[in-house]
Amino acid sequence: MSQEQNEIVEGDERAPNDGAVDADHAASVDVGRVFALSDGVFAIAATLLVLEIRLPDGLDHQQFLHALGDTVPALRGYLISFLVIGQLWLGHHRQFRALLVVSPRVARLNLVLLGLVALLPFPTALLSRYESEHASVALYSVNVAAIFLTQAAIAALTAHRNEVRGLTDRRARQVWLVRSAAPAAVFLLSVPAALLVEPSLVLYAWIVVFLALGQGTRLLAKPRDRVVAPAETPGDPA
């Protein structure tokens, strides 16, 4: 092996396909820019959720108490969507910090994901105002399922192209994929459920299942199976 080939192998933890770095990786995107844009979109989407929680002006005491009770659907929608966005943000950081390179294909998929995240306040508003409508719950389920499916597509693509640190065996690959695919499956199943059962039951089921999924994936990922993220340096985000 020549000295130049040695430098390629030692400088790139990913085993190059066909012995050479393809054009997709040569044009890789700076992960710092990906985090900057993504964090901004997640933060704005989370902030917009609270705009649905408001009271009209000029209320007397009884009207105020009544209006306060009317904010319960908006508060419930806010809680569900904030849990979704928070879980997505944590998963997004974990996912991208484990990548060896952010290829243009992954960057484009990330833009699709961010577009769907930015759309989330709209079905959340429908959920808050028309929570008894089956279509509102179904539409919300479709939006969230699409976000997690896009995240799962990023996981599958990067695993297939050997762009992830620590995917040394089949179990590690399964954990890598399940973290995004499991929530997507939950919300996909919610679409027919929202059309068949009482919508409010689906809303509460989301909260319970989502918390259970977070605990389940942590138990599934034993220490030896966890994807290794790059070592943090001073100033890196936690």
Task: Tell me what pLDDT residue 29 has.
Answer: 82
Say how many C-beta atoms besides its own lie within 10 A of residue 15's C-beta. 8
Task: Kindly list the distances between the CA atom of residue 199 and the CA atoms of 43, 72, 79, 128, 132, in Å, as whole numbers in the listed order.
Answer: 28, 15, 16, 12, 6
10 falls in which pLDDT band (50, 70, 90)? very low
Note the pLDDT tens digit of each residue in 100-128: 999 999 999 999 999 999 999 999 999 88
Helix (H, G, I), strand (E, B) or coil at 99: strand
Whole-angstrom distance, CA of residue 154 vs CA of residue 29? 14
Q: Which two tokens stand for residue 23?
A: 């054009």
pTM: 0.75
Task: Tell me what pLDDT residue 220 has.
Answer: 52
Note the pLDDT tens digit of each residue in 40-98: 999 999 999 998 888 888 888 888 888 888 888 888 889 889 989 998 999 999 999 99
CA angle 182, 128, 54 (to 5 degrees): 130
Whole-angstrom distance, CA of residue 120 vs CA of residue 25? 31
Say how many C-beta atoms besides its own lie within 10 A of residue 67's C-beta. 13
Q: Which two tokens stand for residue 139?
A: 């539409």
Picking from 140-149, 179-188, 200-209, 210-219, which range would have the lowest pLDDT averaged per residue? Answer: 210-219
